[in-house]
Amino acid sequence: MIKIIFFDVDGTLLDYGNDMPSASTMLALHQLQDLGIKIVIATGRPPYAVHKFPGIHFNGMINFNGSLATVEDETVYEHPINPEDIQTLYQWTVKNQKPRSSIPPLKNI
């Protein structure tokens, strides 16, 4: 018996270039939930970029390519980039005039 299924978002649950899941995807997710199968998202996206599945409860999420994992909204694993590595990378981007951006800590998002 299948107890849990992990899904990627881009190109799996969402077609590329589309921000909303198709009707057939939504139906399949609802059917899985009705069968009692847990649904988990595994994606490179941050958590706030996954909340686009109306009426679907995800039992967990693996975000940032595995550096953050939650089960029922409780963080069970977190491995952010080392602050010293961030500083080194930032200094390199400044020195080499490269564009840069960052995502703030997710505690209050």
Determine, yes or no, domain membership for 40: yes
**Domain limits for position 40:** 4-80
Exposure string for 57-95, b = 16+ CB within 10 A, e = fewer: ebbbbbbbeeebbbeeeeeeeeeeeeeeeeeeeeeeeee
The predicted model gives 68-76 an average pLDDT of: 95
Q: What is the CATH number of the domain that holds 22?
A: 3.40.50.1000
- The two tokens of residue 40 are 């988990």
Mean pLDDT over all residues of the chain?
A: 90
Number of structural domains the chain divides into: 1
- Distances from the Cα of 67 to the Cαs of 40, 76, 99, in angstroms? 15, 11, 23
pLDDT at 82: 87
pLDDT at 105: 62
Determine, yes or no, domain membership for 106: no
User: How far is 80 from 7, CA to CA, in rounded Å?
Assistant: 22
Task: Say what the pTM is.
Answer: 0.78
- Are the C-beta atoms of residues 52 and 19 closer than 8 Å to each other? yes
